[in-house]
Chain A
Amino acid sequence: MRDKVLIGYGQGFWGDSILGPVRLVREGPLDYLALDYLAEVTMSIMQKLKGRNPKAGYATDFVAMLDRTLPDITKKGIKVIANAGGVNPEGCLQAVLELARKKGIKGLKVGIIDGDDILTRIPELLKSGHSLKNMDDGRPLADVQSRLLSANVYIGAFAVAECLAAGAQIVIGGRLTDPALVAGPMIHEFGWSPTDWHKLAAGTMAGHIAECGPQCTGGNYTGWREVQDFVRIGYPIIEASPDGTFVVTKHEGTGGLVTRNTVVSQLLYEMGDPRRYLGPDCTADFTSAKVEEIGKDRVRLSGIQGAPATPTYKVSLSYQNGFKTAGQLTIAGPDAVAKAKLCADIVFGRLAFDGCTFAEHEKLIEIVGAGVCHDGILATADPAEVVLRLGVKCDDEDKVDRFGMEIVPLVTSGPPGVTGYAGGRPKATDIVGYWPALLDKTQVTTRVRVEVS
């Protein structure tokens, strides 16, 4: 058994910079490269793409990233763990194999994990008594069943470890949890068992710290003046040990910083009850960790306590929930705020005149530059200009499009100083509703398969 494993996290979401993984494989030692490509909304977009083309529905960015990094990855023997499979891990597998062949790389072992996509199983699950009710508000799934777009179970780290044990150098999953991308390699390397709750909690916590990439190395840090060289900010590396302690660090010479403060900042990101961080493999107690700076850009976490996982998996479902759009204009001063308010009244007044009305909760009026983000906390007196953002949402697509036609005309028919209307008419887009639910673990079986280029 190795006594130290280096796991880098190169992608925090679909759309993150390709420089993350490219630099992690190039700028220093690395054993594993973990990459997250999914968010709740992503799954519904991928189902739509797959509906149009059975070969689509995965993160094509992942293949583009491998196109740049595969030679280094194979030369250095770095293993890659990604949830890039989206709703079509098989399609992603074939694209990666084709890329390897194109590059003349023979013998590359690529594995997939599936079983997380339960969209087609929903009727059967409901019939057999699994209600999948909304875990936030208790509504029954029947309320939205006809409008479902995607349904994926959050799969844990043991499926990743199984795929690695089957010999894969590239592991492609669907809806794997973000922390599983980090905890999976630890289970595989150190032989942790499903009842090693404390170690699994440590793996989960390490994954939570790394899962947004540079958000633990100086990105989005409220002490931002301390951060040197944002341009070459280092992506995080977890230096894992068999006993569950780990060090958060980054490659030498990269920008950003790793301190107790940058790590604690990220520990608090999207946190609920810190004593009970629920995951598919364990329940982690974030209040048990000892966090110490042990060197420059090195923060060690130890003493992490865990408890058994719950008997259910979390399921992320999405559904069509109406239409929305938003558009914006720039309003120059003097009196920018007063004119922006007038402009909003004019737009909704003209729509009402034409018989198109919206309820208060369907409308958005934001005067950006006059205290939108810190509404009620910070006010700005008489800004030189503001951006007026207007938006609507409702079930009627035509009404949303009608709204979109009434913004640009303000340039010639409102108060003076209205500009910045580039982009033209905003159009109606789908609102994707999010539906979190729980499902008994006995109902989910994951499968792994490895193919060789």
Chain B
Amino acid sequence: MAKVKLKEFAFARSGDKGDGSNVGIFVTNAKDYELIKAQLTVARVKQHFHAICKGEVTRFEAPNLLALNFLLRDSLGGGGSESLKTDAQGKTHGLGLLEMEVDR
């Protein structure tokens, strides 16, 4: 087991969903999928985005895509055109998740 950042082996994409963002993350083999399912808990992701996400985090699984999808509520400073933030649409949140360290 070594500490590895998700960006070393996973891919991500994010975008806006109302006043929040979605962060999709996926890997390329079953073993890594088990790893992210076990380690990317809702609590861990909420903690990782503590300064960005002010609301609830929800997780969905898409095993056919070896993917997890997280919804981060209240993570855009109002969302869409109401937000003043540079990243008002959560475009960079996927890259933010890839900076998380996991045991692999």
Contacts and interface: CB of A to CB of B under 8 A. Distances in A.
B22 A287 contact: no
Given A375-B51, A375-B52, A431-B81, A287 B26 contact: no
B86 to A, nearest CB: 6
A50 B78 CA distance: 28
B68 to A, nearest CB: 9
Given A290-B64, A433-B81, 17 more contacts: A41-B81, A264-B66, A268-B69, A269-B22, A272-B71, A287-B64, A326-B84, A368-B86, A372-B86, A372-B87, A373-B96, A374-B92, A376-B50, A377-B48, A377-B49, A377-B51, A434-B80
Most B CB within 10 A of own CB, among A268, A291, A366: A268
A271 B69 contact: yes
A40 B80 contact: yes
A53 B48 CA distance: 49
A393 B77 CA distance: 11
Contacts of A392: 84
Q: Which of B52, B63, B81, B94 has the most CB of A within 10 A?
A: B81
Nearest to B48: A377
A426 to B, nearest CB: 11
Contacts of B67: 264, 267-268, 274
Interface in A261-284: 261, 264-275
A389 B61 CA distance: 37
Contact of B84 (A288, A393, A432): A393
A373 B21 CA distance: 13
Nearest to A378: B99
Contacts of A393: 78, 82, 84
A267 B65 contact: yes
Contacts of A267: 24, 65, 67
Closest 10 CB pairs of A and B: A268-B24, A376-B51, A391-B84, A364-B84, A373-B92, A270-B15, A375-B51, A274-B62, A265-B13, A432-B81
Contacts of A326: 84
A431 B84 CA distance: 10
Given A268-B22, A288-B64, A222 B81 contact: no
A268 B26 contact: yes
Contact of A431 (B48, B61, B82): B82
Contacts of A40: 80-81
A222 B77 contact: no
Interface in A197-221: 215, 220-221
A234 interface: no
A324 interface: yes
A289 B66 CA distance: 12
A220 B92 CA distance: 10
Interface in B36-84: 48-52, 60-67, 69, 71, 77-82, 84
Interface residues of A, number: 50
Interface of B: 7, 11-19, 22, 24-26, 28, 48-52, 60-67, 69, 71, 77-82, 84-87, 91-92, 94-96, 98-99
Nearest to B19: A136
B87 A222 contact: no
For the residues of B in contact with A, the DSSP-based class is mixed
Nearest to A328: B86
Contacts of A223: 11
Nearest to B47: A376
Contacts of A156: none
11 contacts: A40-B80, A264-B66, A265-B24, A265-B26, A287-B63, A287-B65, A321-B82, A373-B87, A375-B51, A377-B51, A393-B78
A374 B84 contact: no
A270 B87 contact: no
Nearest to B63: A287
A155 B60 CA distance: 27
Contacts of B65: 264, 267-268, 274, 286-287, 289, 291
Nearest to A434: B80
B18 A436 contact: yes
A289 B64 CA distance: 7
A204 to B, nearest CB: 16
Contacts of A269: 13-15, 22, 24
Nearest to A288: B64
A373 B86 contact: yes
B80 A41 contact: yes
Contacts of B91: 220
Contacts of A391: 84
Nearest to A390: B84
